């Protein structure tokens, strides 16, 4: 883990994401970039320059206050904090930075507790997960940081035979001496034992010496079974895999909407040509 990118609009949920990232990754060899993207509406060239100049002046002051707040909250700050301002569309800007700067993790704040996934996740977070290659850590506004001792990993058939970028999850587990509870929910009996053996083999291959238990539950509603497990056990962090570039997996929104206090780490299979 070297480079973390945090898109921010200076809201409270964005600040929560920054606080969580610093609590989790406050090390000297880590660089955290706070990114603000200002969307400029279509206009003439002169007006565009004016918008950009005004936004840049405002953002400079906002970044100054943000850094002051970070240093106050983290007097033992070890990580390097950078700021970056761009005009444009946030998704396009992040995708461009991702390619150029070898970003290891994107951390985004999510807001709301209405139970509506669209409100809770926000279109930018869902679009970010859908379009980037980098793992995304979605941090709810109500989340309270604590060491991720117990991680609930939604294991499924998507794990079998795929190249998955789980380096961030492994680093979090190693830093916190975590136990990974890999939950597989089976919705049919066909080839069940074979699938379980394959998933167990993939878990051993991917996680190595990190403690990882495979828990198998039967149920037709995967999200409901995951929700039930998270409610019955003291889980600190949820993690799951989705296919980058595909239609955004509705399980992600459902899982996050169910748990307004648990951060969710979303990783990707490499099923698309980069």
pLDDT digits (tens, 9 = 90+) for 201-253: 999 988 989 999 999 999 887 778 888 888 899 999 999 887 654 434 555 55
CB atoms within 10 A of CB 66: 20
Give residue 213's pLDDT.
95
Task: List beta partners, residue 151.
Answer: 180, 237
Residue ranges in the chain whose pLDDT is less than 50: 44-51, 112-122, 245-248, 271-274
Give residue 38's pLDDT.
81
Contact between 166 and 206 (Cβ < 8 Å) = yes
Give residue 119's pLDDT.
36
Round to whole Å and give the CA distance between 269 and 165: 7
- Report helix, strand or coil for 269: strand
Round to whole Å and give the CA distance between 222 and 112: 24
Round to whole Å and give the CA distance between 199 and 156: 7
Beta-strand pair 179-186/80-87: unpaired
Give residue 251's pLDDT.
58
* Element counts in the chain: helices (H) and strands (E): 9, 10
C-alpha pair distances (Å), 206 with each of 52, 129, 136, 153, 169: 46, 22, 19, 13, 11
Kindly report whether the global pTM for this prediction surpasses the value 0.95.
no
What is the number of alpha carbons within 13 Å of residue 240 lying toward its C-beta?
A: 26
């Amino acid at each position: 883990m070297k480079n973390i990118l945090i898109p921010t609009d200076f809201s409270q949920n964005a600040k929560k994401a920054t606080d969580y990232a610093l609590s989790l990754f406050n090390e000297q060899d880590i660089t955290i970039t706070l990114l603000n993207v200002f969307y400029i509406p279509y206009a003439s060239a002169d007006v565009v320059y004016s918008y950009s100049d005004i936004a840049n002046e405002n953002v400079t002051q906002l970044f100054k206050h943000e850094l002051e707040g970070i240093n106050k909250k983290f007097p033992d700050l070890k990580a390097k904090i950078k700021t970056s301002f761009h005009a444009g569309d946030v998704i396009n800007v992040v995708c461009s930075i991702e390619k150029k700067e070898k970003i290891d993790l994107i951390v985004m704040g999510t807001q709301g507790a209405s139970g509506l996934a669209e409100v809770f996740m926000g279109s930018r977070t869902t679009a970010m997960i859908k379009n980037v290659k980098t793992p995304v850590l979605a941090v709810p506004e109500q989340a309270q940081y604590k060491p991720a001792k117990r991680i609930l990993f939604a294991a499924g058939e998507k794990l079998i035979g795929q190249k998955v970028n789980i380096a961030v999850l492994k680093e979090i587990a190693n830093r916190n001496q975590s136990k990974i509870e890999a939950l597989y929910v089976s919705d049919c009996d066909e080839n069940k034992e074979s699938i379980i053996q394959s998933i167990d083999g993939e878990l051993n291959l991917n996680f190595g010496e990190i403690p990882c238990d495979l828990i198998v539950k039967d149920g037709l509603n995967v999200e409901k079974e995951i929700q039930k497990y998270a409610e019955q056990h003291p889980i600190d962090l949820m993690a799951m895999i989705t296919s980058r570039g595909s239609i955004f997996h509705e399980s992600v929104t459902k899982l996050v909407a169910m748990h307004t206090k648990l951060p969710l780490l979303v990783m990707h299979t490499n099923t698309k040509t980069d």
